[in-house]
Amino acid sequence: MFNHILMPTDGSETSKKIIQDCLALAKSTGARVTGIHVIPEFHIFTYQTEMLEDTREQFSRDSITQAKKYLEEIENAAKEAHVKCDTVYVVDDNPYEAIIKAAEREKCDLIAMASHGRKGLKGLLLGSEAQKVLTHSQIPVLIFH
């Protein structure tokens, strides 16, 4: 059914919770997975407090360290589940676009990601990366709640 599943993570508890479900799907279909984390670009004016105190270089180092930590969780779980796994991180201010581009570049036939379930004003203001991926992707998308 599926041969290659892209599994985005932002390191949140919601993203962590779907790792096992996604790997179970991959194992049941004989698919391999690629975990991806999208690092935001550094901005002088930002709503992210960690950017306010960091230099561009420090922010980059810290972001890469954090990305590797998030992706290592996927790698370890995949190894334990006996599912072939690669990981990648990219820098992009539009996570949904980076996710779709990575899925196309890696020739994935499914994107499996978590929905953070933002509703109301928070959902309106912050938007939903999952919703944007669903709207713009030509590759099938599976959303875990």
The per-residue pLDDT string of the chain (145 residues; one tens digit each, 9 = 90 and over) reads 899 999 999 999 989 999 999 999 999 999 999 999 999 988 665 555 555 556 778 888 999 999 999 999 999 999 999 999 999 999 999 999 999 999 999 999 999 999 875 555 454 444 588 889 999 999 999 998 7
The backbone region for 117, taken as left when phi is positive above 0, alpha when psi lies in -120 to 50, beta otherwise, is left
Class of domain 4-144: alpha beta
Neighbouring-strand partners of residue 32: 4
Q: How far apart are CA 32 and CA 85, in angstroms?
A: 6
Strands annotated E in the chain: 4-8, 32-39, 85-91, 110-114, 141-144
pLDDT number for residue 127: 55
Domain segments of the chain: what residues? 4-144
